[in-house]
Amino acid sequence: MLAYIIRRLIYAIPILIGVNLLTFTLFFVVNSPDDMAVSQLGDKYVTPEAIQKWKVKNGYDKPLFINDEAEGLGAVTETIFFNKSVRLFAFDFGRSESGRDITTDVSTRMWPSLAVALPTFAVGIWVNICVALMVVMFHGTRLDRWAVFVFVALMSISYLFYIIGGQYLVAKTWKLVPVSGFHSEGQIWRFLILPVLVGVVAGIGSGARWYRTLFLEEANQDYVRTARAKGASEISILFRHILPNALIPILTGVVVLIPALFMGSLLIESFFGIPGLGSYMLDAIKSQDFAIVRTMVFIGSILYIIGLILTDISYTWADPRVRLN
């Protein structure tokens, strides 16, 4: 088990290097520092001096990969690649284009993100499983067919509508909770209820539909027939046999997402004015702050890889047949 985890961590290194190279290529080779200077300075006819000044100020005045002028190790370290990309590995995220310290931003903004994303995730799974179980109990009836249609219809509605609709109805028309905002003191839950609710409702269509398929797949297995032949009732078959088996694929699909909860949701956070990492990313995209985007890409990749490893570990826990080696 330990050997397996260590091996997976070692495998993660080339992947992170790949992510790093890819983002570096995107940000510095396709789009050279000069281009960036021009677009940041915002004027098409800026002088070369202004560009140079901007590059020095932001640390883009060095060569991309190899510095011929520097001596010794400096040939590698005094480069944009080393300063902007390799440092990410040491979790040294540097400063954003607007001069803020990214590491501080990330560590303070991650908690509001989690406060929204974690309940959404947990409640969402619980609701989806319950809804799916209910539908499966009525399998083969008209109710089941209509439920599937409703799931597909719910899936066909854009996430944006759920948010806008939720805000319009719950916050604006019924005035139950504030439309948006986030204060860390006092009644924080008042700001969380609506985003969590919207997140859960928006996920029911695809989630419940997927779980229903998983349950039905298990319902066709031989061991269900055995349980029936034992004289077990349909309800006890559903909960004692089908559910534990169906949890295995559910787990693999879901565990990989857990670490990424730190990243928050772009849309929910921006609509509800939650100062988390999601809205941080959105602001970075809108203001074309590549230093932040690069950092978030790197963090996102690490969280994804952790998610993959967690998935494998959770497998051994849920499925006695699986042994990692």
Partner 1 sequence: MSGQADVRMRIQDLRVALAESGVEILKGVSVELHAGRIFALVGESGSGKSVTSMAAMRLLPEALEITGGAVQVGDQDLFDLSESAMRDVRGRRVAMIFQNAMTALNPVQTVGQQVAETLKLHTVLRGDPLRQRVVQLFTEVGIPDPDQRFSFYPHQLSGGQQQRVMIAMALACEPEVLIADEPTTALDVTIQEQVLKLIRDLTQSRQLAVLLITHDMGVVSNTADDVAVMYRGEIIERASVDDFFHHPKEEYSRRLIDALPDLTHFQSAAAEQPLLKLDDVKVHFPIRKGVLQRTVDYTRAVDGVSLHIGRAETYALVGESGSGKSTLGRAILNLESVAGGSVQFNGEEIQHLGRKAMLPYRKQIQVIFQNPYSSMNPRLSVGEIISEGMESLGLGLSKEERNKRIDDLLTRVQLGPEVVSRYPHEFSGGQLQRIAIARALAVEPELIICDEPTSALDVSIRSEVLDLLQELQREFAVSYLFITHDLSIVPTLAHQVGVMQLGKLVEQGTAEQILTRPQHPYTQALLKSVPRID
Partner 2 sequence: MKPVLLWSDALIFMLVIALVIFFYKLREDPQTRERWGQVFSSRLGMIAFTIIITYVGVALLDSLHFRRALENPEGLQTEEVFYDNKVTSVLDVMLDGMGDRFERTYSAPFALKSFEKQNMKDEQGNSIRDFPQLKHAGTHLADPSERGADLLAKSLVALLWGVLIAAIVIAPQWLLLRNSYNPWHASWGVQLVVICFFTWLVSISHHYHVLGTDKGGADVAYQSIKGIRTGVLLGTLSTLVMLPIAVSLGVMAGYFKGWVDDVVQYLYTTLSSIPGILLIAASVLLFQVYIDLNPDFFSIGMEKADAKFIALCFILGVTSWSTLCRLIRAETLKISQLGYVQAAHAFGVSHFRILSRHILPNVVHIILITFVLDFSALVLAEAVLSYIGVGIDPSMGSWGNMINGARSELSREPAVWWTLTGAFFFMFILVLAANLFSDLVRDAFDPRTINRRADS
Query: Where on the chain is the footprint of partner 1 (CB under 8 A)?
Result: 3, 6-7, 10, 140, 221-223, 225-233, 240-241, 244-245, 248, 318-321, 325
CA atoms of 91 and 109, how far apart (whole Å):
16
Report residue 290 as tokens: 């590549």
User: What is the residue-wise DSSP string for 3-54?
Assistant: HHHHHHHHHHHHHHHHHHHHHHIIIIIIS-HHHHHHHHHT-TT--HHHHHHH
Collapsing DSSP to helix, strand or coil, 58 comes out as helix
Q: CB-based burial of residue 284 (10 Å sphere; 0-12 exposed, 13-18 middle, 19+ buried)?
A: buried
Q: CB-based burial of residue 162 (10 Å sphere; 0-12 exposed, 13-18 middle, 19+ buried)?
A: buried
CB of 185 to partner 2, least distance (A): 26
Q: Which does 240 bind (CB under 5 to 8 A by kind): partner 2, partner 1, none?
A: partner 1
Q: Identify whether the C-beta of residue 167 lies closer than 8 Å to the C-beta of residue 131.
A: no
Decide whether 118 or 148 has the Cβ nearer to partner 2.
148
Decide whether 192 or 281 has the Cβ nearer to partner 2.
281
Q: Which does 7 bind (CB under 5 to 8 A by kind): partner 2, partner 1, none?
A: partner 1
Q: Which does 71 bind (CB under 5 to 8 A by kind): partner 2, partner 1, none?
A: none
Collapsing DSSP to helix, strand or coil, 68 comes out as coil
Residue with tokens 């590698």: 76
CB of 79 to partner 1, least distance (A): 32
CB of 148 to partner 1, least distance (A): 17
The most distant pair of C-alpha atoms in the chain lies apart, rounded to whole Å, by: 86
CB of 298 to partner 2, least distance (A): 9
Q: Which does 306 bind (CB under 5 to 8 A by kind): partner 2, partner 1, none?
A: none
The binding site for partner 2 (CB under 8 A) comprises 14-15, 18-19, 22-23, 26-27, 30-31, 35-36, 38-39, 44, 148-149, 152-153, 155-161, 164, 167-168, 172, 179, 217, 220, 260, 263, 266-267, 271, 281-282, 285-286, 288, 290, 293, 296-297, 300-301, 304-305, 308
Q: Which does 145 bind (CB under 5 to 8 A by kind): partner 2, partner 1, none?
A: none
Q: Identify whether the C-beta of residue 194 lies closer than 8 Å to the C-beta of residue 177.
A: yes
Give strand pairing partners of 19. none
CB of 285 to partner 2, least distance (A): 5
Cα dihedral 34→35→40→43 (10° resolution): 100
Decide whether 30 or 73 has the Cβ nearer to partner 2.
30
CA atoms of 283 and 267, how far apart (whole Å):
11
CB neighbourhood size of 101 (10 A): 12
CB of 96 to partner 2, least distance (A): 15
Decide whether 21 or 235 has the Cβ nearer to partner 1.
235
Q: How far apart are the first and last CA of the chain?
A: 7
Q: Which does 160 bind (CB under 5 to 8 A by kind): partner 2, partner 1, none?
A: partner 2
Q: Which does 221 bind (CB under 5 to 8 A by kind): partner 2, partner 1, none?
A: partner 1
